[in-house]
Amino acid sequence: MRVLGVDPGLTRCGVGVVEGVAGRPLTMIGVGVVRTPADADLGHRLVAVEQGIEQWLDEHRPEFVAVERVFSQHNVRTVMGTAQASAVAMLCAARRGIPVALHTPSEVKAAVTGSGRADKAQVGAMVTRLLRLSAPPKPADAADALALAICHIWRAPAQNRLQQAVALHTSKGRTA
Amino acid sequence: MRVLGVDPGLTRCGVGVVEGVAGRPLTMIGVGVVRTPADADLGHRLVAVEQGIEQWLDEHRPEFVAVERVFSQHNVRTVMGTAQASAVAMLCAARRGIPVALHTPSEVKAAVTGSGRADKAQVGAMVTRLLRLSAPPKPADAADALALAICHIWRAPAQNRLQQAVALHTSKGRTA
């Protein structure tokens, strides 16, 4: 199973591709950050995020896209940009018929560290170990994107298969 | 000046096209609502919003798109969907090089009724009068979209010209 994890953001949108199945060693296929200039207007920043995500989808052809679920409760100042970047990522995936899954930050932390309240350093350390990397991916957004992908591979494989079947059916229906 | 106003939402996204210049009678070119099923998954709903907005852009070729500025403070329960739908509308416009403007709900109310605290009925009544319609557009999201377009035509025409020049320059730069 190949998953693109997306840690959404307008200034830095973390992206990471992981391949593997639950219970077997995982492989990192790619990791990076899609950046948009803070002084550009919002519409152009969203276009830049779209172009970046499209490039990752083209290059790595993931079967699933896992996006961090954005909550409106915290980080009020930046949450709108995060919600908007996540919308673009979900749109790009759904347009291609790729199933999109949302995972909360605490689900992701719990999946990779065993604790939903782990800090960034702990998440980075576990991502490094689980993917057998020589150093933690930088910046933290990139490590978080890999953690999202790992979380998705480990959570509910049966649910993934169901979702994939539904997405395939829906996208066939739309093009028919 | 032809403006597409967008009152963003996932369940109902109001859209309205108004043509005119400040100080002259305005003309409604079209009004409607892009709907997406509440039981569909988020990715597919965003794709449906994209298809709806694209259709309105194709059909009416607006020179500006005015979108309601979403605040995270109120309506916490629905604000994420609103932010995501607004991101799709901004993305569609910016991709075509159409300048996008954001107006707050109180700016829109103040523009069409004279009061930033006007209620929905008052906004609907003024939209009806200003566009010389026989009845208020229904649902309220459709009337709000027209109010957004009117607000945009009336606010800062000089600013609009500047923005259009910048957007044209930027989109030329990108395709080069």
Q: Is the pLDDT confidence value at B29 over 50?
A: yes
Which residue among A39, A68, A107, A119 is the active-site one?
A: A68
Give the closest-approach CA distance of B136 to chain A in angstroms: 31
For chain A, what is the domain count? Answer: 1
pLDDT of residue A18: 98
pLDDT tens digits, residue range A41-87? 999 999 999 999 999 999 999 999 999 998 766 666 678 889 999 99
Residues of chain B contacting A84 with CB distance shorter than 8 Å: 83-84, 86-87, 90
**Res. B70 pLDDT band, cuts 50 70 90:** confident
- Average pLDDT for B43-55: 98
Give percent of chain B with pLDDT exceeding 90: 79
CATH code, B30: 3.30.420.10
A47/B102 Cβ within 8 A: no
Write out chain A residues lying below 8 Å of B4, CB-based: none
- Cβ–Cβ < 8 Å for B28, B10: no
pLDDT of residue A124: 96
pLDDT at A153 over 70: yes
Contact indicator for A78, A84 with CB cutoff of 8 Å: no
Q: Which residues of A touch B79 (CB under 8 A)?
A: 72
Contact A91 B43 (CB under 8 A): yes
- Please write the tens of the pLDDT for every residue from B82-115: 999 999 999 999 999 999 999 999 999 999 999 9
Enumerate residues 6+ apart whose C-beta is below 8 A from A22: A153, A154, A157
A87 and B84 within 8 Å at the Cβ level: the answer is yes
Q: Taking CB atoms and an 8 Å limit, are A50 and B95 in contact across chains?
A: yes
Averaged confidence pLDDT in chain A: 90
Domain that holds residue B64: 2-175
Q: Which residues contact A140 (CB under 8 A, 6 or more apart)?
A: A14, A120, A123, A124
- Residue B176 pLDDT grade (very low, low, confident, very high; cuts 50, 70, 90): very low
